[in-house]
Chains A and B, each alone.
Chain A
Amino acid sequence: SQELEQSPQSLIVQEGKNLTINCTSSKTLYGLYWYKQKYGEGLIFLMMLQKGGEEKSHEKITAKLDEKKQQSSLHITASQPSHAGIYLCGAPPMIKAAGNKLTFGGGTRVLVKP
């Protein structure tokens, strides 16, 4: 079965600094979703990547999928307190018939110090 490992598990950054979160898969990824979760709440969709080498940006958040499709990174530029939360990567199964159930990493907890 596929496993996703996120690093770091948690980080504290000073407001205005950049940060990067990594998500590494034990198998080739057939897609990779990034979500953000505020404590005790549901998941908010950020971005989805499918192709090797793909990069997407939204506001100050950029996500990349490496060429080999086994690692993704999420980069936040000039962090703000609103970026605080738990970031989760999730991957669909390689077999389409298996539906689109997502396997998630353990999450990265981000705290932004004002």
Chain B
Amino acid sequence: DTGVSQDPRHKITKRGQNVTFRCDPISEHNRLYWYRQTLGQGPEFLTYFQNEAQLEKSRLLSDRFSAERPKGSFSTLEIQRTEQGDSAMYLCASSLTAGGRTDTQYFGPGTRLTVL
């Protein structure tokens, strides 16, 4: 059973450029979450999907951020016109929700974004 994978692991970009990250969840998991973690802090929730539906977005997710999960499998997180304040670790997690019971979230290795 493969875990959650994320690509790329590291991304360095110049301010104003667009970047896209990919997350592949554990295959049978129907929920997928994105979090952001800055240095010395705990992760903060950004958004989550149940299958292909995006059910909630945090106020942290400005209109420069967009996430998709087109076929209910992998997900992408795009940041347009990056700013230095976007520099962070972007974490993806997946879980299986069945019968109203939500299981544990399993996290990927993260994508570390550095905006110069």
Q: Which residues of A contact B (CB under 8 A)?
A: 4, 33, 35, 40-45, 48, 88, 90, 92, 96, 98-107
Q: Cβ of B48 and Cβ of A43 under 8 Å apart?
A: no
Interface of A is mostly: mixed
Query: Complex Cα distance A48/B23, Å?
Result: 24
- Determine if A41 and B104 form an interchain contact, defined as CB atoms under 8 angstroms apart: no
Which chain B residues (91-112) contact chain A, with CB distance < 8 Å?
Answer: 91, 93, 95, 97, 100, 102, 104-110, 112
Chain B contact surface mostly: strand
The residues of B with any CB-CB pair to A shorter than 8 Å are 4, 6, 31, 33, 35, 40-45, 48, 50, 55-56, 89, 91, 93, 95, 97, 100, 102, 104-110, 112
**How far, in Å, is A91 (CB) from chain B's closest CB?**
11
* Total A-B Cβ pairs within 8 A: 64
18 chain-A/chain-B pairs, Cβ below 8 angstroms: A33-B105, A35-B107, A40-B112, A42-B91, A42-B108, A43-B91, A45-B105, A45-B107, A48-B104, A92-B102, A96-B102, A99-B48, A101-B33, A101-B45, A102-B43, A102-B45, A106-B40, A107-B40
B55 and A99 contacting across the interface, CB-CB below 8 Å? yes
User: Are A101 and B48 in contact, CB atoms less than 8 angstroms apart?
Assistant: yes
Using Cβ atoms and an 8 Å threshold, which residues of chain A touch B93? 43
Closest to A105 in B: B42
Inter-chain contact A103/B41, CB cutoff 8 Å: no
Residues of A within 8 Å of B100, CB to CB, are 96
Beyond A40-B112, A45-B104, A100-B31, is A88–B43 a contact (Cβ under 8 Å)? yes
* Identity of the chain A residue whose Cβ is nearest the Cβ of B34 in the assembled complex: A101
Residues of A close to B102: CB separation below 8 A? 92, 96, 99-100
Interface centre among B6, B56, B91, B93 (most CB of A within 10 A): B93
Q: Which residues of A contact B33 (CB under 8 A)?
A: 101
Chain B residue, CB-CB nearest to A9: B40
List of A residues within 8 angstroms of B108 by Cβ: 42
Q: How far is the CA of A103 from the CA of B100 in the complex (A)?
A: 20
